Structure 1
């Protein structure tokens, strides 16, 4: 079942996916009071239809939904070129590190634990929207064979286009700013999670592991991230200058 939220002055449409109607109503009110337009779905399949129909600016989905889980929604949307760059926030009443890591690795851009403070929730929504709207088509060449496209969270390595999560993109950009040098673990964690860095300490290792796999591809020698005492170091072997991906 799907209901249309009220239109507000803001241009951004937030898709709310929440099977608890009380929670859905509360979230809808919070976002509309912050001048967002909203669209509400109460199950995963309805949400997927909404997303393909209206192409929302951002999606907020409960992780445990009937018909299709929040993580499965992430997976399917990331596989579709027309929806793969829509920011997604997953919400859950479970605060375990494992649950957060699985959500972020599965394609979510952020993870919010219930109950949440309305002011923090709105701030996170606005931050994600800023990141998705800024730097359209901006490209940055970093080293001889690595380039990043900010608005799409894409890296081009040795001619191969790599689709990255927001956290992977930020980490790679920082690591490439001082190739071969150690980037402190604490610095990377703060870059990704700000004041909540301590809560996400274990997730930085998983993020580096996933990024390492994407850089290596089928060739372990293609480039990799080394974990060293106190932090991480990016090693990029010399190669030809890559083709640069244009924003789409």
Structure 2
């Protein structure tokens, strides 16, 4: 039985990584959510969840003219998300509007997975403090270094990655991608640069997670910062699962 009250879950497609957030150490790797909850989550624990990019989708859109309130904005967001990814009922949407700007960042998480996490937490008398998409979690983690200037923020989880371009703290482009075998960070960024108008060739790059070899090819962008998966939980690299 886990004896501590602050627990972190990283939910990947085939495993769940669990962390003790007070002791800053990995607790184990479980094959399913059911196993992760059954094998030790203490009643009344505080649970923080990060979802792999395999379970998330991202979209940055220019706000339509004439939007008068949040209800109209959400209707426009759902319409655009549906046009891009299909049925919006599959996704729970989170909207981050740019203060004073005309761009809106939208993150979608798989509704069925979120519902399962919440139901298992309720049954086990566990309090869910947060459920965050992986790229959003890494963007927040790297935020102190990305408030000014141009940056690529990349999150990776072996078979999936998400890439976002941030300029002066505002996200201008973001999307989740399935990784092909052998894909390097440089391969990924070479494709994404073509999608961003006037992308800064010297933009700094921030890479979090696992699954991309940053050194597979000579890196041609700006300064590179790499963080292992435990950094999201403030867990030292040697103690991460």
TM-score category of the 2 structures, normalised to the smaller one: under 0.3
- TM-score, L = length of structure 1: 0.25
- TM-score, L = length of structure 2: 0.26
Relative contact order (alpha carbons < 8 A, sep ≥ 6): 1 or 2 greater? 2
Structure in which a larger fraction of residues adopt helix: 1
